[in-house]
């Protein structure tokens, strides 16, 4: 049986990576039943610190004390044996296996796997903490929020009583986030310790007992949540005062640049994902799409970009019908698209910055003449974009995979906006980005709006939608519940519409 | 007591030193392991290796034979490398080679009196088309229904080889050939000219030209860029508006066409007729060559010569009573070590003491 973690302390942790001091003399501590939030911007060293605790990295200096005794954790296996579990930002599940199979993966020592007992134990865990998961479901059938719960079950099944969660809400809907926070509170009340890595202030405020703020690899504050405020934390984290972006000027839309008429389309699993969506985006307008993710947002963005077939309906872009156009044709007609998956769709991680910057234009002048790429033109174009969009990279040849999320998004933004599109689809553009990067993205979307670009902004962040959009459409089960001007929008109205309740919202 | 453990740490960028050293060490390790095996069978490894390498590289005759073997190896390796670049696992170069040989042979067998300036270009076009179409057979189901091309290309190899067998044992057999499974000899117009009086034929220039063209395509062309994008991420490619299906068909066709050209060069440059067993497995060895060369067209030329030498050395060893399979064994072991050694290009080994201090 795993010993209870009464008290855990990391002392003087220092970790260097080639060229970066990721953690510099960092101290943290946590007691049983406590929720500790590690707050910091991307690149502040939060994940590194937790990877050290979980045995994925060795610190260059420093020690870990567990219940007052020094321990050395050389691998996740040893961390698990000590009762430490971790839920990574990117889940490590096998989609084609069931929940139960995923949970017991790598645990069984005998030749024959006792699924029945395992299922039983998983049921006990899910019942104890109110995790509604069917152990026999296949992982590919589960929503992101459910997959995350499977990861939590995995850790608990292995006897974890200190749980580390790396940006757990980055991939969740507001509803799922709320559920998760409830779940984590419940777990801490039952004597588990929880460390959550985050840069979302309101979550930290509502969930944690204590906050350790990291900036540039160093602890810059360690405070009780009760004794601090959201503003104070934001300043500590960023190191300067923040001015949130706000839509300015009057809304004076021009002609329609993107129109959807009664669009129907199927999702990946063959079910109807869009059922009669009609929307109009005009020049100089930001139209927000609110909704719990999985209600057709992904499919909506893809049908517009020509990446998914319509089963019925009509789309026109810049006055021309684009329903049957190829993706290449639609790009040519002036559609910019910031895809949801910036790592696998928006960029190619192994490609250099410059290669990613010409992804959509590599075949035409001035980047290609006849059959050959014009490297000199591409390089000067790329370096000017890197400068203009403040992309932090050592060289143009650096693979995109080594950039932070915010910088990758800047690469995509630079590429999509410099193509001067007539319409821009942005799917969850700020998901997982820190405050600084989010602020920058917002300012660029507003700039696009004032340049007369019609923007379709898909987001789960209601605050974001309400501060940027002119109109907000709420998507629920593949149809538009209602399109409301931002002046009439508030969290209650949007929340009701997102839950599919139309009457009370009006 | 201090205990140590070793840990692999991912390198930020692949080590350029390792990229260079690993193949060399791999060849050495393969030779050592092969040597152990040879001595276990009661032979003197050094003596066998000496024979293998002096016979393949130490004399003018050996060297020309090595080049003769390197030509089809290089061409088929270039063919598969094009497909591999797009992560299309074309392992059907052997079949495409046979079909190319067949396509090319059809012309001199049907119209033996054509003049050389029609005959050779005609054979090139027919050989490439036949090889390309053979590969296209697998590209179509791959593009439309995502049928796994590894299986289909492999299966078609057997069909191609047996089809050529059928022709040379049956309808195309030379009636004057005293029942051997061979076609009639090609006319002189259908023979690729040789270099001087050696057996090295102008197929060498095909290999050189295609290597240079592919090097330029991969590095500087917009098409090469597209191939790279599609190979890296199909979703990103379709997001960028690239036509994936069309590129699958095109790349597969060209990949097969290059292997078909290898078949054409072999029958026209070396054999002078179509016959049973025209390839000792060039199309399969090509996969190893392409992989060892990291799909770099110019490296393929060099590695092909090395593997050509192994092949010739294998035949030489056979004369000394050692099975020619020694060469195949060494090829396999080199690949094994190179693949295994790749971990050191992307990772570094660190010694970790239990206390947490690190030393390299």
Q: How confident is the model at residue B360 (pLDDT cuts 50, 70, 90)?
A: very low
Interface contact B239-A330, CB threshold 8 A: no
Task: Report the percentage of chain B scoring pLDDT > 90.
Answer: 63
For residue A308, the model assigns a pLDDT of 93
Three-class SS state of A268: coil
In this structure, the dihedral spanned by the alpha carbons of residues A30, A34, A39 and A42, taken in order and rounded to 10 degrees, is: 80
For residue B153, CA distances in Å to A51, B81, B89, B103, B158 come to 44, 15, 8, 18, 9
Three-class SS state of B179: coil
Find out whether A454 and A422 touch, Cβ atoms under 8 Å: yes
Find out whether B119 and B189 touch, Cβ atoms under 8 Å: yes
- Is position A2 within any domain? no
Three-class SS state of B259: helix
Nearest residue in chain B measured CA to CA from A357: B240
Indicate if the pLDDT at residue B17 is higher than 50: yes
Mean of pLDDT values over A476-480? 90
Interface contact A344-B236, CB threshold 8 A: yes
Alpha helices in B111-202 (DSSP H): 116-145, 149-169
Interface contact B240-A339, CB threshold 8 A: no
Interface contact A359-B236, CB threshold 8 A: yes
Does residue A191 sit in the same domain as residue A224? yes
Find out whether A424 and A456 touch, Cβ atoms under 8 Å: yes
What's the mean pLDDT when you consider all of chain B?
Answer: 90
- Is position A108 within any domain? no
Interface contact B236-A373, CB threshold 8 A: no
Interface contact A373-B242, CB threshold 8 A: no
Does residue A300 sit in the same domain as residue A430? yes
Which of A363, A392, A419 is the last residue in one of the domains? A419
Does residue A78 sit in the same domain as residue A207? yes
- Write the DSSP string, B201-245: BTHHHHHHHHHHHHHHHHHHBHHHHHHHHHHH-HHHHHHTT--HH
Both tokens of A232, joined, read 């104070």
**How many domains does chain A contain in total?**
3
Which of A404, A419, A434 is the last residue in one of the domains? A419
Does residue A329 sit in the same domain as residue A355? no
Does residue A458 sit in the same domain as residue A483? yes
Interface contact A347-B236, CB threshold 8 A: yes
CA distance A437 to chain B (A): 23
A61 CB neighbours in chain B (<8 A) are 356
A58 CB neighbours in chain B (<8 A) are 7, 350, 352, 356, 358
CA distance B70 to chain A (A): 30
Does residue A478 sit in the same domain as residue A436? yes
Burial class (CB in 10 A: 0-12, 13-18, 19+), A328: middle
Q: Which residues of B touch A (CB under 8 A)?
A: 5, 7, 12-13, 216, 220-223, 225-226, 228-229, 232-233, 235-236, 238-243, 350, 352, 354-356, 358
ipTM for this model: 0.81
- Write the DSSP string, A191-260: T-EEEEEE--HHHHHHH-SEEEEEETTEEEEEEEGGG--HHHHHHHHHSS--------S-----SEEEEE
CA distance B225 to chain A (A): 8
Does residue A425 sit in the same domain as residue A458? yes
Beta bridge partners of A25: none
For residue A44, the model assigns a pLDDT of 80
For residue A245, the model assigns a pLDDT of 65
Interface contact A330-B358, CB threshold 8 A: no
Interface contact B242-A372, CB threshold 8 A: no
d(CA A319, CA A328): 17
- Is position A39 within any domain? yes
Does residue A319 sit in the same domain as residue A375? no
Chain-centre distance for alpha carbon B20: 21
Q: Mean pLDDT lowest for which of B40-44, B211-215, B238-242?
A: B40-44
Rg for chain B (alpha carbons), in Å? 23
d(CA A393, CA A408): 10
Residue of B216, B222, B231, B349 to mutate when probing chain A, most A C-beta within 10 A: B222
- Is position A150 within any domain? no
Interface contact B356-A363, CB threshold 8 A: no
Interface contact B356-A341, CB threshold 8 A: no
Does residue A428 sit in the same domain as residue A498? yes
Nearest to A75 by CA among A61, A62, A86: A86
Which residue in the set B221, B232, B241 is minimally distant from A348, CB to CB?
B232
Q: How confident is the model at residue B3 (pLDDT cuts 50, 70, 90)?
A: low
d(CA A194, CA A180): 12
Mean of pLDDT values over B34-60? 88
B360 CB neighbours in chain A (<8 A) are none
Beta bridge partners of B4: B353
A-to-B residue pairs, Cβ atoms closer than 8 angstroms? 87
Nearest residue in chain A measured CA to CA from B237: A345
Interface contact B352-A74, CB threshold 8 A: yes
Q: How confident is the model at residue B98 (pLDDT cuts 50, 70, 90)?
A: very high
Nearest residue in chain B measured CA to CA from A375: B220
Does residue A411 sit in the same domain as residue A477? no
- Write the DSSP string, A50-109: HHHHTTSS--SEEEEEETTEEE---SHHHHHHTTEEEE-SS----TTSBHHHHHHTTT--
Does residue A80 sit in the same domain as residue A168? yes
Three-class SS state of B263: helix
- Write the DSSP string, A411-449: HHHHHHHHT--SEEEEESTTTT--HHHHHHHHHHHHHHH
Indicate if the pLDDT at residue A298 is higher than 60: yes
d(CA B140, CA B96): 16
What's the mean pLDDT when you consider all of chain A?
Answer: 87
CA angle B315, B319, B322 (to 5 degrees): 80
Which of A419, A443, A475 is the last residue in one of the domains? A419
CA distance A386 to chain B (A): 20
d(CA B271, CA B93): 19
A77 CB neighbours in chain B (<8 A) are none
d(CA B15, CA B346): 7
Task: Report the percentage of chain A scoring pLDDT > 90.
Answer: 38
Find out whether A433 and A405 touch, Cβ atoms under 8 Å: yes
d(CA B282, CA B76): 7
Interface contact A72-B238, CB threshold 8 A: no
d(CA A177, CA B221): 47
A351 CB neighbours in chain B (<8 A) are 228-229, 232
- Condensed to tens digits (0 to 9), the pLDDT of residues B120-167 reads 999 999 999 999 999 999 999 999 999 999 999 999 999 999 999 999
Which residue in the set A18, A326, A347 is minimally distant from B12, CB to CB?
A18
For residue A427, the model assigns a pLDDT of 94
Three-class SS state of A170: coil
Interface contact A371-B240, CB threshold 8 A: no
Both tokens of A94, joined, read 């096998």
Three-class SS state of A136: coil
Nearest residue in chain A measured CA to CA from B9: A57
Q: How confident is the model at residue A19 (pLDDT cuts 50, 70, 90)?
A: low
Q: What is the CATH classification number for the domain harbouring A164?
A: 3.40.50.300
Interface contact A328-B354, CB threshold 8 A: no
Interface contact B220-A375, CB threshold 8 A: yes
d(CA A66, CA A81): 12
- Is position A134 within any domain? no
For residue A383, CA distances in Å to A357, A365, A391, A396 come to 10, 18, 10, 7
Does residue A306 sit in the same domain as residue A442? yes
Indicate if the pLDDT at residue A109 is higher than 90: no
Per the structure, the complete domain to which residue A446 belongs is given by 253-334+421-506
Neighbours of A376 (CB within 10 A): 9
Which residue in the set B13, B222, B355 is minimally distant from A362, CB to CB?
B222
Residue of A53, A332, A335, A373 to mutate when probing chain B, most B C-beta within 10 A: A373
Interface contact A331-B229, CB threshold 8 A: no
d(CA A64, CA A270): 50
């Amino acid at each position: 049986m795993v010993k209870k973690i009464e008290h855990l302390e990391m002392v003087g942790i220092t970790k260097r990576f080639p060229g970066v001091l990721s953690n510099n003399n960092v101290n943290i501590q946590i007691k049983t039943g406590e929720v500790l939030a590690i707050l910091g911007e991307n690149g502040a060293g939060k994940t590194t610190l937790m990877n050290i605790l979980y045995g994925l990295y060795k610190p260059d200096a420093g020690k870990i004390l567990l219940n007052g005794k020094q321990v050395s954790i050389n691998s996740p296996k040893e961390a698990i044996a000590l009762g430490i579990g971790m839920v990574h930002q990117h889940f490590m599940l096998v989609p084609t296996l069931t929940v139960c199979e995923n949970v017991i993966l790598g645990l069984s020592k005998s030749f024959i796997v006792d699924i029945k007992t395992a299922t039983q134990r998983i049921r006990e865990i899910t019942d104890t903490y109110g995790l509604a998961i069917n152990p026999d479901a296949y992982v590919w059938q589960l929503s992101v929020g459910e997959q995350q719960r499977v990861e939590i079950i995995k850790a608990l099944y292995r006897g974890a009583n200190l749980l580390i969660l790396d940006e757990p809400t980055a991939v969740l809907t507001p509803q799922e986030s709320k559920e998760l926070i409830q779940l984590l509170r419940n777990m801490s009340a039952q004597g588990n310790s929880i460390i959550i890595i985050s840069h979302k202030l309101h979550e930290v405020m509502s969930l944690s007992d204590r906050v350790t703020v990291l900036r540039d690899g160093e602890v810059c504050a360690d405070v009780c949540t009760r004794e601090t405020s959201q503003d104070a934390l934001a300043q500590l984290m960023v190191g300067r005062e923040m001015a949130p972006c706000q839509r300015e000027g009057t809304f004076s839309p021009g002609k329609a640049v993107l129109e959807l008429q009664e669009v129907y389309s199927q999702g990946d699993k063959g079910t109807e994902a869009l059922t009669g969506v009609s929307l109009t985006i005009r020049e100089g307008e930001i139209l927000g799409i609110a909704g719990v993710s999985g209600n057709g947002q992904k499919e909506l963005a893809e049908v517009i970009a020509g990446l998914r077939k319509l089963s019925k309906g009509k789309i026109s872009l810049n006055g021309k019908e684009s329903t049957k156009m190829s993706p290449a044709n639609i790009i040519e007609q002036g559609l910019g698209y910031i895809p949801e998956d910036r790592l696998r769709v928006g960029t190619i991680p192994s490609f250099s910055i410059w290669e990613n910057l010409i992804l959509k234009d590599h075949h035409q002048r001035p980047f290609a003449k006849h059959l050959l790429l014009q490297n000199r033109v591409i390089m000067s174009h790329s370096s000017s974009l890197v400068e203009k969009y403040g992309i932090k990279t050592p060289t143009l040849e650096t693979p995109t995979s080594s950039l932070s999320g915010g910088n990758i998004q800047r690469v995509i933004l630079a590429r999509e906006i410099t193509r001067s599109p007539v319409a821009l689809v942005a799917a969850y553009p700020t998901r997982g980005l820190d405050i600084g990067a989010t602020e920058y993205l917002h300012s660029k979307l507003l700039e696009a709006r004032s340049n007369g670009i019609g923007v379709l902004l898909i987001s789960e962040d209601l605050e974001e939608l309400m501060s940027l959009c002119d109109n907000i459409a709420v998507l629920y089960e593949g149809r538009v519940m209602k399109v409301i001007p931002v002046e009439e929008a508030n969290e209650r109205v949007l929340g009701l519409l997102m839950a599919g309740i139309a009457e009370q919202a009006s | 007591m201090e205990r140590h453990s070793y840990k692999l740490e991912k390198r930020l960028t692949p080590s350029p030193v390792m990229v260079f050293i690993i193949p060399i060490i791999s060849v050495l390790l393969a030779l050592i392991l092969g040597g152990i095996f040879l001595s276990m069978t009661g032979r003197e490894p050094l003596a066998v290796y000496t024979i293998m390498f002096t016979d393949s590289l130490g004399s003018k005759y050996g060297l020309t034979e090595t080049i003769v073997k390197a030509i089809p190896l290089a061409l088929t390796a270039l063919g598969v490398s094009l497909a591999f670049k797009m992560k299309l696992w074309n392992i059907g170069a052997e079949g495409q080679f046979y079909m190319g040989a067949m396509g090319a042979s059809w012309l001199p067998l049907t119209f033996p009196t054509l003049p050389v300036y029609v005959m050779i270009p005609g054979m090139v076009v027919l050989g490439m088309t036949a090889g390309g179409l053979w590969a296209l057979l697998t590209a179509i189901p791959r593009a439309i229904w995502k049928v796994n091309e590894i299986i289909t290309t492999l299966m078609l190899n057997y069909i191609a080889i047996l089809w050529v067998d059928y022709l040379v044992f049956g309808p195309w057999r030379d009636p004057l050939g005293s029942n051997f499974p061979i076609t009639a000899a090609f006319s002189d117009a259908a023979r690729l000219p040789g270099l001087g009086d050696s057996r090295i034929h102008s197929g060498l220039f095909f290999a050189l030209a295609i290597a240079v063209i592919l090097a330029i395509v991969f590095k500087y062309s917009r098409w090469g860029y597209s191939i790279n994008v599609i190979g890296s991420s199909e979703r990103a490619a379709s997001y960028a508006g690239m036509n994936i299906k069309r590129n699958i068909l095109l790349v597969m066709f060209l990949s097969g066409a290059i292997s078909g050209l290898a078949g054409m060069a072999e029958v026209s440059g070396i054999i002078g007729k179509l016959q049973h067993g025209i390839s000792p497995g060039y199309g399969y060895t090509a996969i190893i060559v392409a992989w060892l060369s990291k799909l770099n067209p110019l490296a393929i030329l060099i590695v092909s010569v090395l593997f050509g030498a192994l092949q010739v050395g294998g035949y030489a060893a056979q004369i000394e009573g050692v099975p020619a399979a020694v060469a195949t064994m060494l090829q396999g072991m080199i690949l094994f070590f190179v693949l295994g050694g790749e971990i050191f290009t992307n990772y570094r080994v660190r010694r970790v003491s239990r206390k947490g201090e690190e030393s390299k």
